[in-house]
Amino acid sequence: MTDDPSRRKVLKNSGVLAGAALLTGVTTEGTAQASPRTGASSPVVELPAGRLRGSTEGALAVFKGVPYAAPPVGALRWRPAQPHPGWQGTREATAFGPSAPQPYREGGDQVLGTHGSPPFDEDCLTLNVWTPGADDAKRPVMVWIHGGGFISGSGSMPQYSGETFARDGDLVAVTINYRLGPLGYLYFGEDGTGGNFWLTDQLAALQWVRANIAAFGGDPDNITVAGQSGGALSVAALAGARPKGRPLFRRAILQSPPLGLTIPTRAESLQRTATFLEIVGAKNVAELRAVPWQRLIAATFEMFGRTGRWGYWSTPFLPVIDEVTLDRNPADLLLSGAGADIDVLIGWTREEANFAFALSEPYVAATKDQVLARARDTFGNRAAQAYTAYEEARPGARPVDVLMDLIGDDLFRMPAVDLAERRAARGRPVWAYQFDLPTPAHSGRLAAAHCLELPFVFDNFDKWSQAPFLAGLDPRVRDGLAATMHASWISFIRTGNPNHDPMPRWDRYDRDSRTTMSLDSVTTAVGDLAGHWRRLHRPTAP
C-alpha cells in the first residue's frame, strides 16, 4: 500500500504519537503484529554470524550490544574496521556494550550534563536494535549516529534510545558506537590504508544493517541514516559509499552538521598527529599501539590547548581528506554520484554557538576589537559591515553575541543553506528547518543552542533529566513542538516527506521560495528565512 500524505493524522496521547498504523493511514489488518516471533520474554534472531537473544521492552523487541565488526584492539588499533568472526551458540544481546573511550567528568557540564558514561573500552564496535517485531514486515529503518565533537557520545545513551521511533513510527531503529578521539581520528598515512577509522566503523555498521536488518523486521532497501553535529557530518561522509553504483541508504537527516569545518589534508593531519605523539611521548604508531587507551584519552585535554584558536569551536581531532576513505568535503558527496539520489532533511538551531561560548567567562568578556579581528577571517575588508549587521539583528547585542552568531553561521547555518541551495539548483530533494525555540535555562543565555532540538526529535524528555539546558521550558510548548517534530521525522523516514497533519505545509527547499520550517512555539513555514545572511556572507548570491 502506498502512503498518501493527505490521509495521515497525528494523534497525541500525553504528548506522544498514538500509533504508527494510524499515523501512516495503514490499517492493522494490513501490517504484521508487533510481537517478537519467538515469545515475549526472549526474542531470538538467526544471523550469519550466529544466534542472538534479545529482550522485550514494552511492545518492542530489543537487541543490545550486537557486534558489527571485530574488536579494534592490539594490532587492529588504528586499522580499518574488520569483519567480526561470529560466535558459537546463542549470544545474549540484553545489555549495551561498552562505549568508545572518551573524556569523562562525573556530573557533566552546565549544558548537556553527561554525554557518554562508563564503562568505556576499545572493544566498542557494537550496535543496538529496537523493533516492533523480529518478523518479515519489512519496516523502514532508521540508523542514528550520535555527535559529540568527535570525542564523546555513545549509541547506548538513554537520550538516543530508539524506543520512541520504533514504537511511534512502526520503524526499526538502530544506534551505533564507533571509535572516537585519538582512537578514531588520528592519521598516520601508513601502508596506503588511509585514516578516518571512525568512518570505516560507521560504514561497517551500515553494511551490517543492510545485510542483517531483515531478520529484525526491517527493509534493507529503505534505510534512513540520521545524525546530529559530528554525527550529521558522518551521514554526509557515508553518502560517498556506493557499492554497485547505488547509495547504501535512501534518506539522510542532518541535524546541525558542522559543514563549515575545514577538513585537513593528509599533510595537515600528520602535523596534528605529530603534536599528539609529542604529548604522549611516543615516536611512532608502533609505540603508540602499546600505550593504554586511558593515557591516550588523557592526552585529549592537552590537545585542546595545542590546537585551539580564539573565536573558533575547539576540535582537537578531525576527519582527514586521505584520498582513500574520503576524497572531498562531505557536503559535496550529497551533490553528485550516488549521494545525489538521497533524500535530504537538513537544519540547524538559531543560536548554535551559544552552546560552547555563552557560559564561557573569557568569551563573555570579549571586546569589539577582538570580534572584529575574528570577523576579518570570514569577511575580510567587509568585517566592520558584517559586525554592524549582526549587532543590529540582536537588540542590545554585546561583542560576544556578535561572535556567537558569526561562529554559528560560519560553522553550521551558512554551509547548510549552501548545501540546500546547491541541491535545489540540481533539482534534488531537500527540506530545510531552523529550530527557533529558546530555552530559559541559565537566564536565557543559551537561547536556541546547539543540541537543543535533540529531545524534541526523539520526544523523550524523561531521558534528558540530567540535561541542565532544558530547565524552565513550558511543558505544554515543549510537548507540542516535540510531537510535531517527532512526527515529521517519522514521516520523512517512512515516505521521504516530512509533512503530516496538522502541522503547516512544509515544501521542499527550492530556488524560488527557499522554504524553511521555523520550529518554535508556533511552527511556521518561512520563505528564504536566512536570505539576509546568505547575501551578507556571499554578496553575489541571488
Q: How far apart are CA 203 and CA 145, in angstroms?
A: 11
Q: Residue 247 has what pLDDT? A: 81
229 is catalytic: yes
**H runs (alpha helix) in 308-413:** 354-357, 361-364, 368-379, 383-393, 399-408
Q: Residue 158 has what pLDDT? A: 96
Helix and strand numbers (H, E) in the chain are 18, 16
- Measured CA to CA in angstroms, residue 344 lies from 236, 276, 468 at distances of 10, 36, 31
Q: Residue 542 has what pLDDT? A: 82
| Beta pairing, strands 50-53 & 44-47 | antiparallel
Q: Which helix (H) or strand (E) holds 203?
A: helix 197-212
Q: Which cell numbers hold the place of 134?
A: 523480529
Q: How far apart are CA 38 and CA 18, in angstroms?
A: 26
One-letter identity of residue 275? T
Q: Which cell numbers hold the place of 539?
A: 554578496
How many other CB atoms are there within 10 angstroms of residue 505's CB atom?
Answer: 10
Q: How far apart are CA 410 and CA 379, in angstroms?
A: 10
Q: Residue 245 has what pLDDT? A: 63
Task: List, in sequence order, every beta strand (DSSP E) within 36-194.
Answer: 44-47, 50-53, 55-57, 60-67, 90-92, 126-131, 139-145, 172-176
Mapping DSSP to helix (H, G, I), strand (E, B) and coil, where does residue 90 land? strand
Alpha carbon 94 to its chain's center: 25
Q: Residue 41 has what pLDDT? A: 73
- The 8-class DSSP code of residue 72 comes to -
Active-site choice (152, 156, 229, 269): 229
- Measured CA to CA in angstroms, residue 59 lies from 36, 136, 170, 212 at distances of 9, 17, 11, 21
Q: Which helix (H) or strand (E) holds 12?
A: strand 12-13
Q: Which cell numbers hold the place of 163?
A: 524506543
Alpha carbon 231 to its chain's center: 3
Asked if 214 and 437 touch (Cβ cutoff 8 Å), the reply is no
Active-site choice (163, 352, 391, 421): 352
Q: Residue 106 has what pLDDT? A: 85
Active-site choice (84, 146, 442, 450): 450
Q: How far apart are CA 497 and CA 492, in angstroms?
A: 4
Q: Which helix (H) or strand (E) holds 195?
A: none
Q: What is the DSSP string of 237-282?
A: HHTT--GGGS-S-SEEEEES--TTS---BHHHHHHHHHHHHHHHT-
Q: How far apart are CA 20 and CA 43, in angstroms?
A: 22
Q: Which cell numbers hold the place of 271?
A: 602535523
One-letter identity of residue 13? N
Tens of pLDDT, residue by residue, the chain (542 residues): 333 333 333 223 222 222 222 222 222 222 233 333 434 579 999 999 999 999 999 999 999 999 999 999 999 999 999 999 999 999 999 999 999 999 998 878 899 998 989 999 999 999 999 999 999 999 999 999 999 999 999 999 999 999 999 999 999 999 999 999 999 999 998 666 789 999 999 999 999 999 999 999 999 999 999 999 999 999 999 998 877 667 899 999 999 999 999 999 999 999 999 999 999 999 999 999 999 999 999 999 999 999 999 999 999 999 999 999 999 999 999 998 889 999 999 999 999 999 999 999 999 999 999 999 999 999 999 999 999 999 999 989 999 999 999 999 999 999 999 999 999 999 999 999 999 999 999 999 999 999 999 999 999 999 998 899 999 999 999 999 999 999 999 999 999 999 999 999 999 999 999 999 999 999 999 999 999 999 999 988 78
Question: Could you tell me the residue ranges of all domains in the chain?
Answer: 5-520
450 is catalytic: yes
Q: Which helix (H) or strand (E) holds 519?
A: strand 515-519
Class of domain 5-520 as given by CATH: alpha beta
Q: Which residues contact 255 (CB under 8 A, 6 or more apart)?
A: 226, 227, 228, 229, 231, 232, 347, 348, 453, 454, 457
| Beta pairing, strands 251-255 & 515-519 | unpaired
Q: Residue 424 has what pLDDT? A: 97
Q: Residue 244 has what pLDDT? A: 65
Q: Which cell numbers hold the place of 88?
A: 558459537
